[in-house]
Amino acid sequence: MSEAKIGAYICKGCGLGDRLDTSQLVTIAEREGKAAIAREHDFLCSEAGVQMIRDDIANEGVNRVVIAACSRRAKTDAFDFDGVCINRTNLREGVIWVRPDTDEDRETTQEMAADYVRMGCAEIKHMNPPTPNEKTDASSRILVVGGGISGMTAALEAARAGYPVTLVEKSGQLGGVAAELVKRVPERAPYADPEDTGVAALAAEIEANELIEVCLNSTLARTSGAPGCFSADIATESGTTRTENFGAIIQASGFKPYDASQLPELGYGKTPDVVDQMGLEALVRAAGDGPVKRPSDGKEVERVLFVQCAGQRSQKEGHLPYCSGHCCLTSIKQAMYFKDRNRDIDTEILYTDLRTPGAPGEDFYRSGQQKGITFVKGVVEDVASSGNGAKVKYKDIILDETIERDVDLVVLATGMVPNSGVDIEAVSAPNVEGAEDDAGDNGGDSVEIPVESILNLTYRQGKDIPQLKYGFTDSHFICFPYESRRTGIYATGPVRRPMDMMSAIEDATGAALKAIQAVENAKLGRAAHPRSGDLSFPSFRKEGCTQCKRCTVECPFGAIDEDEQRYPQFNESRCRRCGTCMGACPVRVISFENYSVDTVGQQIKNVDIPDEFDEKPRILVLACENDAYPALDMAAQSGQQYSQWARVIPVRCLGSVNTIWVTDALNSGYDGVVLMGCQKGENYQCHFVKGSEMAHYRMSKIDDTLSQLNLEKERVATYEVAITDIERAPGLINEMAETIDKIGMSPFKF
């Protein structure tokens, strides 16, 4: 890398020229910011303005560009230069739009702008353009774990895009639960009749596809590595093991049907004539084209009752608290097994909310009604049996009376239990505080694990993908449903969320895309979501590292392992570039090329701190660049104002905030520090899942530092801020200004 040469460009457009003394800003960029070139322009984002910058890059060797104009969120098309570092010093949304245009404010507005120019130059001085770390030897092969509908679909769809696939299935055949079904809920209009499951056709297509290798009776004994270079030991039942490399992994480990023997209150176990949905599939299969017979005595079934939400949507101990999504449609399909054989068979579906969504669902429901299936809104009170058939007592909610029925067969619509392997966070909750003390103990490995792992990852944070809720491995399940917390490993199908076959097929196709994307990103050394395309990656200075393991414990994505000497091992393509490791490091040895303790620390340091008697406080605001920072931008856009004492620095994630920034700021005379991250906890909105939580945890310890410095604890405030907090975010800054007004200026001004 050639020596840094800073070009600073001050825009005079959008009122900047009227409100600010831009020539003074040029001087500051030159003298204090050490810019080799500093220029003003009337309209920097115009073709002429952009060309001026391009020329300086081409002819003057400028490789660090400071654009002092509008927010980094605006005019991104115009200010897009290759091979240089870019800083967007925000004078428009960050200064003139949030300050009143009055004579008395002119001085402080100018000071704000001047500080931001100093900060911009300071940041860029410590930035290097990230070099793409291309991996030409990255594997393109995709590993699919699980050979049910989801896994088979994922394998085939990836192969159709030209990617080789290895499909590992624990059992001796493909098809999973779907292979045990007689028919499936229809996927094609007019959605009137059960359809062939398609399992055989899918399996045949997989076998015929040259790009797909199928390993039956196989499991993963060990999985290590990172996107582009996963290494998996595939162990067969017969005891042989082979190791293969993969670019990405799709986990389609599916579900287990809920154990109906936990439902004696619904008659399961009292008579063989109470079955679950899978039990009914077996009965119908056994019947072939003939009549379905009840298991107890082989009598032809004339009356069958389906009980929806059996052991589901229930807070009772041992029950599933959620809805499994498919069971209403499945029961309609199963009632049709009877109706399509003989219209006179009495089929009754007992439900509380019938859930048949969309066009396919509603059409199928309607078809069921037309075929004469009876739907009753009701709740079972008792199921009794003297051996053959069952006497069911239920409350009909519509008629408001209790009804007793003798039926030949009761079918319990029980739910799906995800097959998600080890709940690594339950096995070994990340122990932030004790991270330094548990030397020798390698995470969850020493704890006895009752559940079989699916992936057997060698990752420091545990063997499987972290779970979100009820054992499902979901993550940002609304906006970014595929993003697990293990880069390059995508969960799909009912292991991710309860779903029917139609959804599982869609889901698996999407997961195949994400796996392909992970492979392509790894080849180019680019980050995956949400900093897609980011080429920077963390490195650490080994000499300074104390092997404390905080970074390996706190990484929300389990990207960092430890080597034999317990130094961190950064797995670049597993890294999402949030910087939580950098924030965690007590000795500050972790950095990215373009984002480091220095790039932020030097900005903090280069703010001009007027002396105590000037009564011009300084408030450092560290704001999450995804939510809080845009909120401040939009506040500016809508005419909100905030304190002239604030100096806002966007951070990749609040998790990347190293407490040194806060203590340094306080030591050097800042009067207050405001941290703005995203919502943490169960309904977290942090794009890096745990970043904000980690930051809040770290900042909860800052009081000690403050008391050591003899400073009031009100001087540091940490908030959860949403992108829509357009009034609140500026309000929080103003609150800090008022607090300082009350408690007085910091005594640390030199």
Query: Per CB under 8 A, which of residues 492..531 are in contact with another protein?
Result: 497-499, 503, 506-507, 509-510, 512-514, 516-517, 520-521, 529-530
Q: Are 351 and 328 in contact (CB under 8 A)?
A: yes
- Residues 526 to 565: which contact another protein by CB under 8 A? 529-530, 532-533
DSSP β-bridge partners for residue 274: 410
Size of residue set near another protein by CB under 8 A: 94
- Residues 43 to 72: which contact another protein by CB under 8 A? 43, 45-46, 70
Residue (597 or 634) nearer to another protein, CB: 634
Q: Which residues contact 630 (CB under 8 A, 6 or more apart)?
A: 73, 723
CB 158 → another protein: shortest distance, Å?
Answer: 8
Mapped to the 3 state alphabet, what secondary structure does 384-403 carry? ECCCCCEEEEEEECCCCEEE
Q: Which residues contact 655 (CB under 8 A, 6 or more apart)?
A: 554, 556, 578, 579, 580, 583, 584, 677, 686, 688, 690, 691, 692, 693, 694, 695
Residue (470 or 719) nearer to another protein, CB: 470
Piece of 169-177, 393-401, 547-555, 584-592 that binds another protein (CB under 8 A): 393-401
Residue 644, amino acid: Q
Q: Which residues contact 118 (CB under 8 A, 6 or more apart)?
A: 28, 32, 33, 606, 607, 608
Residue (498 or 672) nearer to another protein, CB: 498
- Residues 334 to 353: which contact another protein by CB under 8 A? 351, 353
Locate tokens 């697990």: which residue?
Answer: 484
- Residues 398 to 417: which contact another protein by CB under 8 A? 398, 400
CB 586 → another protein: shortest distance, Å?
Answer: 30
CB 481 → another protein: shortest distance, Å?
Answer: 5
CA 157 to CA 505: how far, in whole Å?
10
Of 98, 501, 678, 733, the one binding another protein by CB under 8 A: 678
Buried-exposed string 681-693: b where 16+ CB fall within 10 A, e elsewhere: eeebbbbbbbbbb
Instruction: State yes or no: residue 431 binds another protein (CB under 8 A).
Output: no
Residue (118 or 497) nearer to another protein, CB: 497
- Residues 175 to 234: which contact another protein by CB under 8 A? 188-191
Residue (362 or 615) nearer to another protein, CB: 362
Residue (424 or 535) nearer to another protein, CB: 535
CA neighbor of 265 nearest in space, from 387, 354, 394, 415: 394
CA 197 to CA 381: how far, in whole Å?
35
Here the tokens at position 350 are 């007992």
Give kind and range of the element (H or E) at residue 9: strand 6-11
CA distances (Å), 533 to each of 246, 429, 524, 558, 602, in order?
21, 31, 9, 20, 26
Of 414, 685, 718, 746, the one binding another protein by CB under 8 A: 685
- Residues 703 to 722: which contact another protein by CB under 8 A? 722
Piece of 12-20, 270-278, 340-348, 457-465 that binds another protein (CB under 8 A): 12-20
Residue (226 or 548) nearer to another protein, CB: 226
Residue (248 or 660) nearer to another protein, CB: 248
Piece of 332-340, 546-554, 676-684, 704-712 that binds another protein (CB under 8 A): 676-684
Residue (387 or 681) nearer to another protein, CB: 681
Here the tokens at position 189 are 């209009």
- Residues 233 to 272: which contact another protein by CB under 8 A? none
Of 186, 360, 691, 730, the one binding another protein by CB under 8 A: 360
Instruction: State yes or no: residue 723 binds another protein (CB under 8 A).
Output: yes
Residue (393 or 469) nearer to another protein, CB: 469
Residue (257 or 610) nearer to another protein, CB: 257
Give kind and range of the element (H or E) at residue 706: helix 702-708
CA 728 to chain centroid: 26
- Residues 627 to 656: which contact another protein by CB under 8 A? 627, 630, 634, 637-638
CB 400 → another protein: shortest distance, Å?
Answer: 4
CB 43 → another protein: shortest distance, Å?
Answer: 6
Cis bond upstream, residue 450 (ω within 30): no
CB 407 → another protein: shortest distance, Å?
Answer: 23
CA 709 to CA 376: how far, in whole Å?
70
CB 209 → another protein: shortest distance, Å?
Answer: 13
- Residues 264 to 323: which contact another protein by CB under 8 A? 313, 315, 321-323
- Residues 443 to 502: which contact another protein by CB under 8 A? 469-470, 472, 474, 476-482, 497-499
At 651, give phi and psi (nearest 5°): -120, 155
CA 529 to chain centroid: 9
Helix (H, G, I), strand (E, B) or coil at 535: coil
Residue 615, amino acid: E
Buried-exposed string 159-190: b where 16+ CB fall within 10 A, e elsewhere: beeebbbbbbbbeeebbbbbbebbbbbbeeee
CB 255 → another protein: shortest distance, Å?
Answer: 12
Residue (517 or 658) nearer to another protein, CB: 517
CA 82 to CA 710: how far, in whole Å?
47
- Residues 99 to 158: which contact another protein by CB under 8 A? 140, 157
How does DSSP classify residue 519?
Answer: H
Residue (468 or 553) nearer to another protein, CB: 468
**If you count DSSP H runs as helices and E runs as strands, how many of each does the chain have, helices first?**
19, 29
Of 7, 33, 130, 361, the one binding another protein by CB under 8 A: 361
3-state helix, strand, coil in the chain (%, to 5): 35, 20, 45
- Residues 366 to 385: which contact another protein by CB under 8 A? 366, 377
